[in-house]
Structure 1
Amino acid sequence: MKRLLAATGLATAVLFSAVTAQAATTLKLAHAAPESDLQQTLSVFFKEQVEARSNGELKVNIFPHGQLGSDSQMIDGARSGIIDIAMSGLNNFTGMLPEAGAFTLPFMFPDRETAYKVLDGEVGQGVSASMEQFGLKGLGYPENGYRNVSNNRGPVTTPADLDGVRMRVNNSKALNDMFDLLGANPQQIPVAELYTALETGVVDAQDHPIGVVLSFKFYEVQDYLTLTQHAYAPLALVMNLDKFNGLSEDEQKIITEVAAEAVAMQRELSIEKEEEMIAELEAEGMKVNRDVDSAAFQEAVKPVWQNFIDENGDALVNAILEASK
């Protein structure tokens, strides 16, 4: 009888364990950056806090460095539910919301604090709400940072220094227009292919925030970095809307609270580590130029704003400018 009871108890424990394991919800979180990037730091923080606060009822598996596809593929995956959570540049969502390109217009935000205020406020939250029609729940806007120009030709002090440069650009039409206007030859290349394109001379130059230049090791194939800070680049952290709505209220609260904390933490680290990252790039042999005629660049790119307004209207541009005051 004792053996029978022991066996029955063991079977019950195994069954309970199996049911508990089945009850846990596993979320797939994907981003395109290497594991050395602050996007991964944010992801690990998110994973650890969500799992801890849900007592293991929510699990998060992280897929960095484009393991689940390009930015556009990850966004499509999040919309369809193949991926639960995706983190990507806000510019990559402009196929759905073209007007959101206003956030990445050249010289839109004079400083990070202004960008945070707008993105976290009514204007940014309005864009997040608009994502729901495409099956996405906006969880926040982490930081990619200010975009800067690297190349193999020399420092970029004035707009004329970009004349004739073969420039890799992302899918932001505003930035494509900007570099075209400045006399460069812009070419769209996925970030996963950019290192090879620079190494083989397909393009001479690229623009990315400091952290991306470091984490993707572009210093190995680029000699010069100029701190043009010509556009602020926010990320967007999004979740499949049906998946989010299928969670309990407590689980939804955990997700949204941890996401907000993760964004704040990542932004703070981005600011704290920027000079350290620049020093590391210099130690790797990059020549960093801070002598930039920003006024000349801002004057030269004014037509980019008008082109954007002609195509998308001025409602969001004016809302950002008003909220920036």
Structure 2
Amino acid sequence: MGIIGKLIIGLVIAVFFLVATSAYPGAAQAKVFKLDLACTLPLGTAIEKTSYKFRDLVKEKTGGQVLVSVYPAGQLYKDKDLVEVIPKGALGIGTCNMDFWTGRNAGFGIITGNTFIFDDYDHYWRWEDEKKVRAAVDGALKKLNCKLLSGIDYGTAQVIAKKELRTPADWKGAKIRSYGELCATAVEALGGRPTVISSAEQYDALMKGVVDGCMTGPPTFVVRKLYEGAKYVMRTDLGFPEFLLIMNLDLFNSMPGEIQKKVLEAAREAELWGRKVCLDENNEWWRQLEGPLKEKWGLKVYTLTPAEFKVLKALALPAQKERMMRLSPDLTKTLLETVEATHK
């Protein structure tokens, strides 16, 4: 074969390769997105486990094009920091306590700081799965340069304190750790003195007398050993706090459409998986609190009567609704209307 013939064959091969790689982008070297995910909850909690589940699912679904490194227990940032670092792009993804985001939009408080608002977890999940709710929250987050990926379950909200908190008289003057502004609004309406601090700071605050009790939940009671500083454990569910898995919007938009789709699929699958884990583990935390930990540490586990709960709700719920509607009426109206619509 002559030189001209070889040149023609070489040109044909080159053109074929260019066409093939244009038609099938995967034939070329695909970009790999490496992301850090900050989880503020301690090891062993449902949120931490669900974060790792998302990491594994997104790697599998994208064929390794999205690789997530999970940093649990506040190793990278505390709850309050995520409000700044995710919108700015200093962090790719975070598990976010949305009651710390109420300075950006007060309506976000209903997601995590939802004391006395939902009947039970089934009610919360019906509400959360409404397309109207997801669209409204995602739209509000986009204004902050953030993208909603999914919900991520924590458990239930109760109080562990140095005395029983059954009546407004019990709450009066009590210094109570609150996990955000809407939660603090409820504590104040009940007569308490709220102090908003991150999850990781609760043990020190309790042991040093900065607070008399902590509004949180059984995973944190146990994992952070709050029972060493307070013996009275409320068994009644006051709320059903949900965190959100949030990504920087610029980062999300930099991904090809097919990769975006797979990231959202992975987040949704992890969310549904995490719901069962959350319920199973909540039962296990209570088994420890009402069993071996109660015996070893002399814990007093108590349940509010329906009448006591009704009195507290009548004080806290109107105050929470007023705050949200006054500061962020548009989002709040949509979310509260859907709360009512999803009651059984």
Provide the residue aligned with 1:148 in structure 2: 158
Paired position in structure 2 for 1:251: 259
Alignment map for 1:54-133 (pairs within 5 Å): 54-103=62-111, 104-125=113-134, 126-133=136-143
Q: Secondary structure at the match of 1:157?
A: coil
8 A Cα contact 2:149 2:268, kept in partner:
yes
Distance 1:175 1:55 in 2: 41
Preserved contact between residue 75 and residue 86 of structure 1 (Cα < 8 Å): no
Unmatched 5+ stretches in structure 2: 1-27
1:299 to 282, 290, 314: 314
| Aligned equivalents of 2:45, 2:264: Cα separation in 1 | 22
Comparing 279-288 with 244-253, greater Cα deviation is found at 279-288
Partners of 1:42 and 1:262 within 8 A in 2: yes
1:294: Cα distance to partner?
Answer: 1.4
Distance in 2 separating the partners of 1:178 and 1:48? 38
**How large is the RMSD of aligned CA atoms in angstroms?**
2.2
Identity of aligned residues (%): 24
The one-letter code sitting in structure 2 at the alignment partner of 1:320 is: V
Query: In structure 2, what residue type is equivalent to 1:304?
Result: A
SS of residue paired to 1:141: strand
- 2:246 pairs with 1:238: yes
Letter aligned with residue 51 of structure 2: S
Larger radius of gyration: 2
Q: Aligned partners of 1:87 and 1:105: how far apart in 2?
A: 17
Give the total of aligned pairs: 304
Taking the aligned partners of 1:290 and 1:217, their CA distance within structure 2 comes to 21
TM-score (norm 2): 0.81
Which one of 194, 207, 214 corresponds to residue 202 of structure 2? 194
Offset of 1:51 from its aligned partner? 1.5
SS at structure 1 position matched to 2:238: strand
Per-residue Cα deviation, 1:30-69 (whole angstroms, up to 9, x for no partner): 1111122111101111111212222222211111111222
Q: Distance in 1 between matches of 2:244 and 2:263?
A: 15
Deviation of 1:142 after TM superposition, in Å, equals 1.3
Bigger Cα displacement from structure 2, 42-51 vs 211-220: 211-220
CA–CA separation in structure 2 for the residues paired with 1:268 and 1:217 = 24
Most deviating of 300-309 and 190-199: 300-309
Relative to 1, partners in 2 of residues 1:301 and 1:73: Cα closer, same or farther, differing over 3 Å? closer
The aligned runs of 1:1-325 (5 Å cut-off) are: 23-103=31-111, 104-125=113-134, 126-153=136-163, 155-172=164-181, 174-282=182-290, 283-284=292-293, 285=297, 286-292=299-305, 293-305=308-320, 307-308=322-323, 309-313=325-329, 315-316=333-334, 317-324=336-343
Greater mean deviation of Cα atoms: 191-200 or 290-299: 290-299
On the 8 A contact 1:148/1:227 being kept in 2, the answer is: yes
SS in 2 for 1:232: coil
* Distance change in 2, residues 1:303/1:47 (3 Å): closer
- CA-CA distance at 1:311 after TM superposition: 4.1
Query: How big is the shift at 1:304?
Result: 0.9
Aligned 8 A contact 1:90 1:233 in 2: no
- Cα offset, 1:147, TM superposition: 1.2
1:150-206 Cα offsets, whole Å, 9 max, x none, are: 1022x333333222311111322x322222222222222222221101011111101
DSSP 3-state at the match of 2:73: coil
Deviates more, 1:254-263 or 1:94-103: 94-103
> TM-score normalized by structure 1?
0.86
Report the Cα distance in structure 2 between the residues aligned to 1:305 and 1:56, rounded to whole angstroms. 44
SS in 1 for 2:157: strand
